[in-house]
């Protein structure tokens, strides 16, 4: 077994050549990840029910559309048409 040390022409030779740079790179990468996670958590904490409001709007829209469909079906029936026509005729005859 030989104890060969890497040669670094730009700086000191040894086992820890470049270790400081690698550690700094890891620190910077970790800091960026940590800041990104912190920003996401702060955004979620600021408006925790944003998605709930969107879901509520969707449910209301579905219910309103279903109600409009039922109302249109009822209003197109012959009995309702006759009833509404008679109401309008009476109103016109009164005035």
Q: Dump pLDDT digits (tens) for 60-84.
A: 999 999 999 999 888 888 888 888 8
Cβ atoms of residues 14 and 5 within 8 Å:
yes
Rounded distance between C-alpha atoms, residue 86 and residue 47, angstroms: 54
pLDDT for residue 16? 61
Q: What is the pLDDT of residue 34?
A: 85
Closest CA to 6 of 16, 77, 88: 16
Question: What digits encode the pLDDT tens for the residues 4-63?
Answer: 665 656 655 556 667 777 888 888 888 888 888 888 888 777 766 666 677 888 899 999
How far is 23 from 25, CA to CA, in rounded Å?
5
From the list 17, 36, 39, the residue with the least C-alpha distance to 28 is 36
pTM of the model: 0.37
């Amino acid at each position: 077994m030989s104890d060969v040390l890497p040669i670094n022409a730009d700086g000191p030779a040894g086992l820890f050549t470049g270790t400081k740079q690698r550690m700094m790179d890891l620190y910077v990468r970790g800091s960026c990840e940590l800041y990104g996670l912190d920003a996401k958590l702060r955004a979620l904490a600021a408006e925790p029910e944003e998605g709930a409001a969107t879901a509520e709007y969707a449910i209301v829209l579905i219910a309103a559309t279903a109600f409009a469909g039922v109302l249109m079906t009822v209003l197109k029936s012959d009995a309702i048409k006759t009833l509404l026509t008679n109401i309008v005729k009476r109103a016109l005859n009164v005035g």
